[in-house]
Amino acid sequence: MRGGRKARQQASQAAATAPASFGTASLKNPFPQMNLFSDDYISAMHEKALDILETMGIKMLLPEARQYLKSAGARVDDAAEMVFIGRELVEAALTTAPRSITLAGGSAHRDVTLELGRLVFQPGAGAPYVTDRIRGRRPGTVQDFRELIQITQYFDALHMLPPLVEMQDLAPAFRHYANMDAMLTLSDKVPHIFSRGTPQVEESFEMLRIFRGMSEDTFLKTPCCYTIINTNSPRQLDIPMAQGLIDFAKNGQVSVVTPFTLMGAMAPITVAGAITLSHAEALAGITLTQMVQAGAPVCYGTFTSNVDMKSGAPAFGTPEHFQASIAAGQLARKTGLPWRAATGSAANLNDAQAANETQMGLWGCLLAGSTMIIHSAGWLEGGLTVGYEKLITDMEVVNMIACLCTERQETQDDIGISALEEVGPGGHFFGCAHTMERYKDAFYEQLVGDLSNYGTWKEAGGRSVDERATDIWQAIIKQDKRPEIDLSKAQALSEYIDRQTQAGGALPVS
């Protein structure tokens, strides 16, 4: 019983303490950038990627996409649905794509700037399943989606909203309504819109304009939402993805072109091969956006890991995943564009394997100089599941990284000679003036880590970090802290959703 009371106290304390504010816009990446390959080799990879686009081509299933590229001068074989993109088109696209993109959030302090050197985190996304210690593993629902958006809103170090789980209890024609409702009313961070065809995308844009009170004109000039575009590697772009690139470019909204390639499966087995293919596909998507509208905001992206060659199972946070991120960073810097990379874990439980894989993958992204790190908290089972507790325990790492991004201003006094003058050989510094002036915010404060000694910890119930994480997410949801919203606009959004729902929704395109 004491354990229960204690747990509740800890939980209420967890929610009461606002998370330390780690930069309300994007962070600056303080880590040095790593190279995996020589500059010459990277140049060769870049040239080979251009060769692939020019001579082997990329299959684009959407006629409109082929037409855009054909009009710009690409060779197109409509019967084979193939587009052969000359390097001059790619080079032109890299000239017009902006180097810096500021996305407007629902509040000014939620604006996010994407450019090389900046750093933005997102939690795990796109999982069909969710799991937590209370309710077990289950298909994702609208309720899970909304709870996970609330948890994402809670942490300042998560800068953008991704679609954490798939809402399997809602028919596909209506999910985009629930997506926008949750992202806009439960958070003021930058929302994600799935590219599942023009009808859903257009309606999502309309919901955003209604809720934010934006005219179509203002919307066209204000990046305020984003979509993730995955190619169907190798060398293929499907219809909804191509529509997404076109719709977002036309509307001045942000596409993140992210080939998702597993070495040995959808990509060559080598890091160099997989990243060259990924680079070619990203360049194809980027080029399409610029042919639709020069200057359209677009991010480079990569998500390349390996499979276990015995079982075909995907692996994350491996040395090869790490190296793929590093190599992608070298190529991304060649484009000059902001870019995303991802971490993740194949573990089935929120245990040390899960923690180690996600953190290892994260360091790959950080040392690669990635602008936007996706799946930085919560991913289990190679992305099939988002874990509530995993999200919390990973946030400890993300918060620590965010803390390391804080700019420092050292004074001579920080060297602490006055403290050494006060404390003699063998003494301690607990009470000295130098300590007393600084102790309140000298150190990072743990989110879920327990620093108590073994006896104290054991007496308090001997709980694992996974158990403590349950308290924290429960407290965040119970606290139900919402951003201030304009009720009339919320009402208008709600009416729009009701109306469109009555009308049968909008089916995804495939």
Site for a second copy in 74-133 (CB under 8 A): 82
In the list 325, 357, 373, 497, the residue contacting a second copy (rule: CB under 8 A) is 357
Q: Which of 335, 350 has the CB closer to a second copy?
A: 350
Q: State the minimum distance, in angstroms, from the CB of residue 220 to a second copy.
A: 33
Regarding 313 and contact with a second copy (CB under 8 A), the answer is yes
Burial 93-127 (b: 16+ CB within 10 A, else e): bbeebbeebbbbbbeeebbbbbebebbbbbbbbbb
Q: State the minimum distance, in angstroms, from the CB of residue 277 to a second copy.
A: 7
Regarding 420 and contact with a second copy (CB under 8 A), the answer is yes
Q: Which of 203, 396 has the CB closer to a second copy?
A: 396
- CA distances, 130 to each of 148, 366, 380, 471 (Å): 10, 27, 9, 17
Q: In what order do the strands lie in the sheet with 260-263?
A: 260-263, 303-307, 314-315
Distance between CA atoms of 177 and 169, rounded to whole angstroms? 13
In the list 312, 482, 501, 504, the residue contacting a second copy (rule: CB under 8 A) is 312
Q: Which of 414, 498 has the CB closer to a second copy?
A: 414
Regarding 417 and contact with a second copy (CB under 8 A), the answer is yes
Q: Which of 87, 250 has the CB closer to a second copy?
A: 87
CA-CA-CA-CA torsion for 490, 494, 499, 505, nearest 10 degrees?
Answer: 110
Regarding 419 and contact with a second copy (CB under 8 A), the answer is yes
Hey, how many other C-beta atoms are within 10 angstroms of the C-beta on 31?
A: 15
Q: Is 130 helix (H, G, I), strand (E, B) or coil?
A: strand
Q: Which of 411, 502 has the CB closer to a second copy?
A: 411
In the list 12, 43, 67, 353, the residue contacting a second copy (rule: CB under 8 A) is 353
Q: Is 303 helix (H, G, I), strand (E, B) or coil?
A: strand
Does residue 267 contact residue 234 with C-beta atoms inside 8 Å? yes
Regarding 135 and contact with a second copy (CB under 8 A), the answer is no
In the list 276, 304, 325, 474, the residue contacting a second copy (rule: CB under 8 A) is 276
Regarding 34 and contact with a second copy (CB under 8 A), the answer is yes
Q: State the minimum distance, in angstroms, from the CB of residue 284 to a second copy.
A: 11
Q: Which of residues 377-406 bind a second copy (CB under 8 A)?
A: 381-382, 384-385, 390, 393, 396-397, 400, 403-404
Q: State the minimum distance, in angstroms, from the CB of residue 329 to a second copy.
A: 12
Q: State the minimum distance, in angstroms, from the CB of residue 9 to a second copy.
A: 15
Distance between CA atoms of 240 and 347, rounded to whole angstroms? 31
Sign of CA dihedral 19, 20, 24, 29: negative
Across 72-181, where does the E strand assignment appear?
Answer: 75-77, 82-84, 101-103, 112-114, 118-121, 129-132, 136-139
Q: State the minimum distance, in angstroms, from the CB of residue 397 to a second copy.
A: 5
Q: State the minimum distance, in angstroms, from the CB of residue 184 to a second copy.
A: 32
Q: State the minimum distance, in angstroms, from the CB of residue 175 to a second copy.
A: 23
Tokens of 419: 């403290």
Q: Which of residues 35-74 bind a second copy (CB under 8 A)?
A: 35-37, 41, 44-45, 48, 51-52, 56, 58-59
- CA distances, 177 to each of 114, 190, 495, 501 (Å): 27, 16, 11, 8
Cβ contacts of 245 within 8 Å, gap of 6 or more: 65, 195, 229, 237, 255, 257, 285, 288, 289, 292
Q: What is the largest CA-CA distance in the chain?
A: 84
Q: Which of residues 433-492 bind a second copy (CB under 8 A)?
A: 434-435, 438-440, 442-444, 446, 448-454, 457-458, 462, 464-466
User: Which helix (H) or strand (E) is 306 found in, with range?
Assistant: strand 303-307
Q: Which of residues 212-241 bind a second copy (CB under 8 A)?
A: 232, 234-236
CA neighbours closer than 13 Å in the CB half-sphere of residue 330: 22
Interacting span for a second copy (CB under 8 A) from 187-195, 269-277, 331-339, 479-487:
269-277
Regarding 24 and contact with a second copy (CB under 8 A), the answer is no
Regarding 136 and contact with a second copy (CB under 8 A), the answer is no
Number of residues that bind a second copy (CB under 8 A): 118
In the list 75, 87, 137, 333, the residue contacting a second copy (rule: CB under 8 A) is 137
